[in-house]
Structure 1
Amino acid sequence: MQKIYRKIFFWGIFILFLISTPLVIMHSKGYRFDQKRGIFVYSGSVTLKTIPSSVRIFINNEEQPSRSLDIINNSITLNGLKPGTYKIRVTADGYLDWEKQVEVHSGLSSEFWNVVLMPQNPQLKGIESHKTARLFPSPFGKKIAYFEDLENNIFLWVTDFKENKTQLIFSKDNVSASRDRLENLEWNFKEDLMLIPVTRNNQKDYLIASASQDLSPIYLSEISRPGDIIKARWSPQEKNVIYFLARSNSENKSNLYRVSLDNNTLQLIIPGVIAYDLSQNSIYYIQENNILFKGNLEGGNITQINDNQFTDQPIGDGARLIAYDNERQALISQDGDLFVHNNGNESLSQKIASSVQGVQFSDDGKKLLFGTPNEIFVMFLRKWEVQPYRDENEIQNVIRISSPLENVFWFRDYEHILFSADKKIKLIELDPRDRRICLDVFENNLDDFPAVYDTSNGYYFFLRDESGDKRIFYFTLPEKTGIFG
């Protein structure tokens, strides 16, 4: 009998081995048994890259074991998921949850490379300021300039973050800073000089002031030719050189000039310019024919960039040109019509939208953000071959609301957009899968407030009421959480 039992035991183990071995192999290869269908199916996965990187992940409300981050791209992959729809929730202490219904397909990975969790209570920091009307951080975030809110007088203050010092730079009666939101104080690239659009003697002018007060404040009209001066800009290469458009009462066309503060040398660069933009080493400009040209910063080596006109209609003196490079440019007419030139795999040159308030290229030039008073759009200038996939020249309506949209900025990953509406600072993602997640980042106590997002450092500056006084505050997005996120 013992011999029979041994045979039964042996053959039982052998049969179990024959049955289990294929199951183990199939499981290791990614196959899972679907009880509803009664068959084995090839599993899929979900890949997440999150900010912050230390998070908890739930699938259908069941918390998943913690996983190590991929050493190459700091992502987390959830393997072995049977094809179907899953509720994926990402949480972290002190942050708002991220949650989506995710489709998992056999043999494929559903990838989410830009999962951003917003802090529940951003840490506000105040800047010494009072009665603030507008604010202007310097290019590298070392300083911030602001105006006091005075109707017919100007008080210009600058805070130096490194020295933790705020000082009055300039004040003058019967001189007022421009209230046009399209006209901003501009810092030079050294962060020591400012160019400020003002009104004095009922004429438009530009004040030149030093943040360290090394240079006595002067007006651009005092060192340039007489006439209407518009669209003044600092040189991207020479810290004491300014470009501007001007024309006298006897002229019908504006000319592009440059002036050096070192010796007050005025130079005519290009005649008959309607709109221009400066890159690191070039001038892009449009004349009456609405065809784009490019020259060096001295006005030489002129070349025609595009054969086609932006439009055959007048664009107005208030038109704005925004050039990313020779292949990608945008033009906003004085009436708010947006025209885009995009020379990618497919060449596009046409009107894109109306009533446009502003445009911003992404840092890599692959996306163009633009908005109307109540809508935000993104145009994809290059084919996007990672999830979510996008076609070249595809335009997506990111959000449409009845309230006015203000303070529209790219978030630093260029896959989210910051904006404000109804007192709230909000963040919305571009990824439309399931739905676009739109989060309330912070609720302000002012109905209308200027704000600036410093993409490089992640600082969001804005005005807030404190005891009846408008002061500057800021918080960091995304929050700094240490070297490992």
Structure 2
Amino acid sequence: MLFYTFGYRFNFERGIFIYSGSISIKSNPETVDIRIDNELIPQKKLGILNRSIHIGGLMPGEHFVEVSAPGYSTWSKKTTVQSGLSTEFWNVLLVKENNPPEVISGTAHALKIFQAREQGLLAIAKKRENVLTVDIIDTNAKTDVQVFSLENASLPTDGEGEENIEWSPDNRKILIPVEQTGKHMYFIVDIANKHVISLDDIAQSKVANIIQNPRWDPANRDFILYRGGNVLYRIDAGATDPTPLFVKENVRDYSLSGQDIYYLSQDNGIVYRIPAGSIDTKPTQITTMPIIMLSDSPYILILYDDARLTIREQKTGKLWVYNRISPSRIIFKELVEKDAMGVQFSDDGKKLLFFTNNEISVYFVRDWEAQPIRKNDTIIQIARFSSTIKNIVWAQDYEHVLFSLDNNAKIIELDNRDRRNIADFSTFPSPLLQILPRFDENFIYFVSSANEETDTVSREQFTKKTGLLGF
């Protein structure tokens, strides 16, 4: 009895006492049934602490773990328990089954939705009979107001799909990209009064260059940053007679983080930083080595902060990563030779999701201490399919990835011990155009293609609020 109390178990095959191991599980939902080697563990034997379940007294060796709950998908893995150690599964996700999404009314002919910072507020781009419209929908107040309409127009594509409608930081205005009769244009819409002005008119009346990549200025209300050729400008879109202001020249691409502007220099292929509120400040060099740039291809700069960023060459899909792990350890290398379609940093900056049309992978920017432990500067492939995969985005725990495959919305875990659990959480009558996570609202939004007058935007609350995804 004393040996048993201290965690020892008798091995009848070997005729000796062996120090046992344990398994620790954090699941969403939290109330689950757990089976070890197909044997249901009674609830009274489950040790529960800080929302984790502890199963002790397990003989060292291989075991089969199964987590289930009525109305949810089942999660399972083979694992090896070691003497005196706890094997941890802290990101076990069960997806609701037979859980039809809630349809958002007034969304027939939707192409894409764009979230504001305010919960429940969405801009929805629609296309019907060659007319592009934009509605503002408040899912909390149940209101739907059209604020923009233009004939013979569509959302332009940027190599990754349609360009984004961008909300101003205060949610008062939206910036809409438009393609009309071969011309690329941008419009600014005041949500309250539906007043529309052309960014091209107020900028090109003074500067005869094509506007590219306009973004709301993070440091100045109503100001917009944009590129005209390889020159970066700033303009006050709220002024009566605005004049474009020069910011920097020889800018191949730029991005924003916090109150700073980062740009890729056309001259030398190096990334620099300047404060958005003080553009005359001497630029700070960020990357340590230049990249060789093609003259006929756009480049896309995506960053988390000045220590973590990516550069993607759009024509071939080549992808570089810059990762300053410490002052003495800086990594700047080619991550993908070709065909990279997009990247997304996790919210904590420790992981980088990147993908092609058929593969999903993760690069570990920082050490990941939870089991399974991963070291920084390592890559794991998450999934590979023969069919085209789309709408790849992080789940909020950064240990799951959402994506669509034809008509199915799926979620897959990063944990590759034994095998990866993958689940369908919704199936639609037509292919999905978009998956938009709004974890601050407890919803995943979907846009599916449909004919005639069918509403095409829906949302699903597929996990409980107390779980590890924040629901």
- Same-fold call, TM > 0.5? yes
1:215 shift after superposition: 5.1
Alignment map for 1:83-482 (pairs within 5 Å)? 83-128=60-105, 129-150=107-128, 152-180=130-158, 181=161, 183-200=163-180, 202-212=182-192, 214=193, 216-224=195-203, 225-247=207-229, 254-263=230-239, 264-288=242-266, 289-297=268-276, 298-301=278-281, 302-309=283-290, 311-314=291-294, 316-335=296-315, 336-345=317-326, 346-353=329-336, 354-464=338-448, 468=452, 469-480=454-465
User: Structure 2, unaligned stretches of length 5 or more?
Assistant: none
1: distance between equivalents of 2:182 and 2:129?
Answer: 13
1:481 shift after superposition: 6.2
- The answer to whether the 8 Å contact 2:310/2:320 transfers is yes
- The answer to whether the 8 Å contact 1:315/1:333 transfers is no
1: distance between equivalents of 2:439 and 2:232?
Answer: 30
1:233 shift after superposition: 0.9
1:423 shift after superposition: 1.2
Q: What do you get for the CA RMSD once the two structures are aligned?
A: 2.1
2: distance between equivalents of 1:39 and 1:98?
Answer: 34
TM-score of the two chains, using structure 2 as the length reference: 0.91
1:139 shift after superposition: 2.9
1: distance between equivalents of 2:38 and 2:376?
Answer: 37
2: distance between equivalents of 1:239 and 1:123?
Answer: 41
Per-residue Cα deviation, 1:312-340 (whole angstroms, up to 9, x for no partner): 23375521101111111101012211000
- The answer to whether the 8 Å contact 1:331/1:338 transfers is yes
4+ residue runs over 6 A deviation: 481-485
For residues 238 and 456 of structure 1, do their structure 2 counterparts lie closer, same or farther at Cα, with a shift above 3 Å needed? farther
1: distance between equivalents of 2:88 and 2:395?
Answer: 20
For residues 360 and 70 of structure 1, do their structure 2 counterparts lie closer, same or farther at Cα, with a shift above 3 Å needed? same
2:15 to 12, 21, 38: 38
1:383 shift after superposition: 1.7
Q: Which has the larger radius of gyration?
A: 1
2: distance between equivalents of 1:220 and 1:432?
Answer: 48
1:411 shift after superposition: 0.4
1:111 shift after superposition: 0.5
- The answer to whether the 8 Å contact 2:178/2:184 transfers is yes
- The answer to whether the 8 Å contact 1:412/1:456 transfers is no
Letter in 1 for 2:294: P
2: distance between equivalents of 1:151 and 1:389?
Answer: 53
Letter in 1 for 2:335: I
Letter in 2 for 1:244: Y
Alignment map for 1:72-91 (pairs within 5 Å)? 73-91=50-68
- Give the match's secondary structure for 1:418: strand
TM-score of the two chains, using structure 1 as the length reference: 0.88
- The answer to whether the 8 Å contact 1:410/1:455 transfers is no
1: distance between equivalents of 2:253 and 2:439?
Answer: 26
Letter in 2 for 1:205: M
2: distance between equivalents of 1:192 and 1:479?
Answer: 32
- Give the match's secondary structure for 1:221: helix
User: Structure 1, unaligned stretches of length 5 or more?
Assistant: 1-23, 248-253
- Give the match's secondary structure for 1:274: strand
- Give the match's secondary structure for 1:322: strand
- The range that moved more, 31-40 or 148-157, is 148-157
Aligned to 1:18: none
1:167 shift after superposition: 1.3
